[in-house]
Every structure is written in structure tokens, then in C-alpha cells.
Amino acid sequence: MAAINRDDVAHLARLAHIEMSDQELDRMAGELAVIVDAVKSVSQAAGDDVPATSHPIPLSNVFREDVVGHTFTAEQALSGAPDSDDNRFKVPAILDED
Amino acid sequence: MSTDTILSFEEAMEKYDPVLGFEVHVELNTRTKMFSSAPNVFGDEPNTNVNEVDLGMPGVLPVVNRTAVESSIKIGLALNCKIAESCRFARKNYFYPDTPKNFQTSQYDEPIAYDGYLDVELEDGTVFRVEIERAHMEEDAGKLTHMGGATGRIHGADFSLVDYNRAGVPLVEIVTKPIQGAGSRAPELAKAYVAAVREIVKNLGVSDARMERGNVRCDANVSLRPHGRERFGIRSETKNVNSLRAVEHAVRYEIQRHAAVLEAGEPVIQETRHWHEDTRTTTSGRAKSDADDYRYFPEPDLVPVVPSREWVEELRASLPEPPAERRKRLKADWGYSDLEFRDVVNAGVLDEIEETIAAGASASVARKWWMGEIVGRAKAADVDPGQLGVQPATIVELATMVEDGKINNKMASQVLDGVLAGEGTPAEIVEKRGLAVVSDDGPLLEAIDAALAAQPDVADKIRGGKVQAIGAIVGGVMKATRGQADAGRVRELILEKLGVTA
């Protein structure tokens, strides 16, 4: 069984600013452990000769030239914002962070 | 705001040995952002230099800016770093409204440049080597303005307004290894190090390097340990110390504050500190906590950057002369004394003097004009000397006129005023203002004849041997030529005319 316990889930929830009830934490710990176990099964297929990778395709150096492309107007940029003011996104003050 | 107890700097130094560390963020001056083609421009209307990538919309794909990679490699090379054979980006996950993606695209385990050093020259010429741990590529965050609340500071804020124009601007973060052995010169070294980094990126042309615009930003780590102990003390990290003077003051303050904490037998808290320019103190930000768990993982949407050795060597060959070496060379070439050269550097007219000499002036003439005439005018106008717009050719023209005896130094200074007032070229102004020194004997002889005719009694006295009376005639000539005659020559001509030998 994967090492995802209730404390891990509570920690992640805190980092993500998500409020979770005790029942939710219990349930999520169980579900995440199963998911991690399922993903882990991949390592059974890969032998010692297969190095860890973050990219399945052997590509490198995909670059863009430094040429200005399209932009949004402020109205377009803010069109999906729940709240805005003075052409800027308006968000609740988050305390104790810099 | 709490006030900390601090020890005097001298006492702190007596008891403790400071260890420093710096993270300097350099904003690159590419035309576009790190991962999107939106413009990288300062000061535009909020949220107009953004597109779907900068706003972190679902399904968008970032693409790396080639020029930003080049600039990063150049910075790495200028800091004597090794350039990675292969490196990748990583996601630094955190939840704060300055990033709409909920992560910052950065580099973690594979920075593009690592293991370098920078030789930093202190004011008295001492060279101190600062080891560079790494320089990695990342993106800047958006700008939050905290609104409402009693103080306007974040703790009393009701809400924040976010402008994402800066989100995605290419950054290079330069991280030092722990800097040991600076002793009481730690604050001075801190300032000199940041100044040297700023100068290097400016010289490379990869950043505008304007600290007041946040192009170069410094986080300063300070810890103390008792003399003779190897293990480092607990450090504080003072964030966003954004002027050279502030870097020096912040390091000095933190040394004094740590010393007082340690003297009281208390542990230093590992935390972020905020610098306050007005009081020249720091205040507690937040303690390092599990909120610093960034859960880095390789960025799946970007492929590795693999700089070929040919590319790296091409860039290395294109690097400009390092600023410190250039200064050494110029000082030797120009033959200035230590003091003269330091004054020139401090006045910020090194480039201007170099250009003036290149335009044909001698080193001493160039220095005389910039230091003696232009720096003072710039100070009065509250601008940088270079911003006055004095052309090297103008100085050469003025200096040549003085050398040829067409005008004297006093007139040359007036002509410069005329040039700055937009009255034309030096030659035009000399003409318009009628400033030429009259050395042609023709006009002088006419003026002398007139002066003698006007004061026949004085002329007779001189003829009679009372040579000291000549002053009245010379005065008349000078008046008639509006002070532009060479008084010595006038005297000679009068005596000649009257057949008297002085």
C-alpha cells in the first residue's frame, strides 16, 4: 500500500488552501493511496535499463524566436475574472504571505 | 511594528563572524516573455501585455524564448560558470494570486549554469571572490497592489489588485554559495557584489539593469556564528532589497539584530524579513514553514534545453570585455591617478570620457571637460551627466578652439552653455555671441589708435617715459573689444606704436 496517509492529504489541502472535513480527508487518503499504487505498477514494466524520464519523446531545444505575437486587451484578459477593478484582477487579500 | 534590539556593529563583529548568501533576480530585456510571445515591456496599461499563456488558461502550451536562453548562457559565462550539457524546467507549485497558473516555471535540479565565481572589487581595491552556486532560468510573477486597510500594508489590506503584465517576463536567478570571511566588510561586500552583477548584466546588454524598476532584485541571507566555529548559524532572508545602498544597510542591520538575539541567549528564527527603507530596519515576514513545500516536478510541457558546445563557444566569443578588466585597461591607457580615476567612475562618466577620447580629445582634456564642466551642470539639473546630451565632437571642437587660442577657457565654458541651450554648434555660437579672442593685430591697431586719440595726454605721458600710465590705454582697448583682446599683446603694440621700450 502506498504511503499516502491522512496527514499527507491534510498537508496538501493546507498548501492548496482547500478546506476539507475529517470524512473527506479519510476518504481522500484511501483513494489517493489506490491511485498511487496503480501508477506505481508502471515501474514493474520498466527494467533497470530504462532511465527515469520526464518526457516520453526524445525532443530537445524547441525554441521560439523573440518576436512579439498577439496579446489580449485588458477587457479580454479580465473577461473570465470573478471580480475586477481598474483593469486589474481583484482578489481577496491573502495575509501572512509575501 | 516591533522594534528589535540591536547590538552596535563593532560589538557584533567582535563576537561573531558573518556568513552571507545572495539570490539576485535579473529581468532580461528580451522583446517577448519567457514562454509566450506577449511583449516584455515595463509601464504599460495593466493586463495588456498578456495572452493565454501568461494567464495560465487551460490547454495552453509554453514555448521557450531562444533569446532568453542565449542571455542566460551569456550571464552564466560572464559569471565563470559551467553551462549545462542538458537542463530542464520544473514547476514550483504554490498558491498565490501573483501567478495565475498556481506554479512558477523555473529550474530546480538542472540549472542552465552552475559552479562559477565573480571577483568583486571593494572600494579600496581589495578583490574578494564570491563563489556562484548556480544561475537558473525562470519567469517573473504578476504585480499585486494591496488595497484598503489601515496602513496600506498587506496586513491591513482588504483586497488586492493584480496586473499580469510582468507575469512570464524572463528572469535569471543567480545564487551564491555561502560567502565566508568577509568579516566587518560584509555590508560593503554585499553592496559591491550586487553592483558587480548589475554592471555585468548591463554590460552584456541582456538586462536594462535598472534597480528602481525591479530589473535587478536582491534577497540577502545573513547568519552569524561565533568566531572559530565552522558550522553556520541560522539565517534570515531579507527579501527585495532593491537598491545598492539598501543592500549594504540591510546586511549591516541584520548582523546587528542577529548579534543581539544571540547575545540574549535566544535562537535566531529562520524567517523571511522585510526591508524598510524609511526606518532602515527589517521586520519579520513569515517563518519558514510547510508552506515552503513547493513540490517541484519536471515541467511536462517543455522539452529539455541542450545547448550545443558550438553554441556556447560562439556566445563565449561574443562576450564583451568584463567591466572590471575594462576599467583596469582604461586607467592604464589614460594615465589617471587612482583618485582621478575613482572620481571619474563615481561620477559615472567613464563611457563618456572614453567616447570623447575616441573622438580625438586627449585623456586630460576629456577629464577636465567632463569632471570640471559637465558633471557640475548635470548635478544642478539633477540628471546623469550622460543625459545632458553633450556630444564628444562638441568637446573636441571646444578644446581645439581653446588650444588654437581662438577662445579662452572662460569663453569655452560659455559656449558650452550655448550648446546645451540649443543655440547651435560651438563655431556658430562663437560667431553669434561674438566671443572670439581678438589676436589679429589689425582690429587691435585700430582700437589702439582710437584709444590713443581719445586720451592724447596719456599718450604723451607714455612717450615721456611714464610707462605705468599705459593701463588707461590698455583699458580703453579692452573696453572697445569687449574684453576679447589679449591684454599682453595690446600692451606690446601700444609701446611699439609710441616707440617706447618698456
pLDDT at B74 over 80: yes
Condensed to tens digits (0 to 9), the pLDDT of residues B220-273 reads 999 999 999 999 999 999 998 989 999 999 999 999 999 999 999 999 999 999
CB B110 within 8 A of CB B87: yes
- Facing B47 at nearest CB: one of A68, A70, A87: A87
Between residues 92 and 151 of chain B, which touch chain A (CB distance below 8 Å)?
93-97, 144-146, 148-149
| CA–CA separation, B194 and B190 (whole Å) | 6
- How is residue B133 written as a grid cell? 552556486
Note whether B288 contacts A: Cβ–Cβ < 8 A: no
- CB proximity list for B263: less than 8 A, separation 6 or greater: B7, B15
Verify whether the Cβ–Cβ distance B160 to A17 is below 8 Å. Answer: no
* pLDDT band at B196; cut points 50, 70, 90: very high
| CA–CA separation, B121 and B41 (whole Å) | 33
Residues of A in CB contact (< 8 Å) with B are 11, 14-17, 54-55, 57, 59-74, 77-78, 85-98
Number of Cβ pairs < 8 A linking chain A and chain B: 151
Residues of B with Cβ-Cβ distance to A54 under 8 angstroms? 88, 297-300
**In order of start, what are the domains of chain B with their CATH numbers?**
9-315 (no CATH), 329-433 (no CATH), 441-498 (1.10.10.410)
Give the pLDDT score at B2: 57
Condensed to tens digits (0 to 9), the pLDDT of residues B155-193 reads 556 899 999 999 999 999 999 999 999 999 999 999 999
Question: Beta strand pairing status for B216-226 and B170-176?
Answer: unpaired
Closest Cα of chain B to A23: distance in Å? 23
Between residues 149 and 178 of chain B, which touch chain A (CB distance below 8 Å)?
149, 154-155, 157-164
- Facing B48 at nearest CB: one of A17, A71, A93: A71
| CA–CA separation, A20 and A39 (whole Å) | 25
| Per-position pLDDT tens, chain A of length 98 | 567 889 999 998 988 889 999 999 999 999 998 998 888 888 888 778 887 777 878 899 999 999 999 999 999 999 999 999 999 999 988 754 44
Alpha carbon B147 to its chain's center: 33
Residue B308: closest CA among chain A residues belongs to which residue? A61
Which residue carries 562663437 as its cell? B430
- Facing B50 at nearest CB: one of A67, A71, A95: A71
Alpha carbon A62 to its chain's center: 23
Residue B132 bridge partners (DSSP): B116, B176
Residue A98: closest CA among chain B residues belongs to which residue? B285
Note whether B51 contacts A: Cβ–Cβ < 8 A: yes
Mean pLDDT taken over chain B: 91
- Facing B66 at nearest CB: one of A14, A16, A66: A66
Residue A83: closest CA among chain B residues belongs to which residue? B161
Condensed to tens digits (0 to 9), the pLDDT of residues B265-301 reads 999 999 999 999 889 999 998 766 655 789 999 999 9
